[in-house]
Structure 1
Amino acid sequence: MVYVGDTSRSLKERAKEHEADVRLRRDKPISEHFNGAGHGGQDMDILVLTRIRHSSRYYRLIKEFEFIKKFETQSPNGLKTKNQLDVLRELI
């Protein structure tokens, strides 16, 4: 299962948030997945696809959208539940 996301914070900080979501069994797709049958928090791995030095949230969302499409990580194939087109429309 693949999840694509962007963050303006450090990767370390964002990873700790995901780990806490799983450990504390928060009502989030990542927690539900890794706390489901046949999985555990130790199965979670993080891979940086690209580092964007552009500060524009709009630009980051466009790049995130491209990766979501490329790797088909939108639910139900992946863990991404927000519709990225809706997020982009809100910014326009």
Structure 2
Amino acid sequence: MVYIGETSRSLKERAKEHEADNRLRRDKPISQHFNGAGHRVQDMGVSVLSQIRDSSRYYRLIGELEFIKKFETQSPNRLNTKNQLDVLLRETI
């Protein structure tokens, strides 16, 4: 299962947040997946797909949206639940 995400924080910090979500069984897509039958937090892996040096969230959201489409990770059958295009449009208007 693939989840695409963007962050302005360090990858280590963001991965620790996902691990905490799993450990505390928070109501989030990754936590629900890894706390489900046949999965463990130890199964989770992290890979960097792209680094954007610009500090603008706009460019991170564009990149995230492109990867979500490329890897087809949008819900209901995958883990990305937010409509990134709506988020992007709200932030640029």
Q: Which residue in the other structure is 1:55 paired with?
A: 55
Q: Which residue in the other structure is 1:90 paired with?
A: 90
Q: Which residue in the other structure is 1:73 paired with?
A: 73
Moved over 3 A (4+): none
The amino acid of 1:23's aligned partner reads R
Query: 1:91, CA displacement in angstroms?
Result: 1.3
CA distance in 1, matches of 2:60, 2:54: 7
Matched positions, count: 92
Query: 1:18, CA displacement in angstroms?
Result: 0.1
Deviations 1:11-70 (A, max 9, x none): 000000000000111111111000000001011000110111111111110011000000
Q: Which residue in the other structure is 2:45 paired with?
A: 45
- Give me the TM-score of the superposition, normalised by structure 2: 0.95
Secondary structure of the equivalent of 2:37?
coil
CA distance in 1, matches of 2:77, 2:3: 10
Q: Which residue in the other structure is 1:16 paired with?
A: 16
The amino acid of 1:4's aligned partner reads I
Query: 1:77, CA displacement in angstroms?
Result: 2.9
| Unpaired stretches in structure 2, ≥5 consecutive residues | none
What is the percentage of aligned positions where both structures have the same residue?
78
| Unpaired stretches in structure 1, ≥5 consecutive residues | none
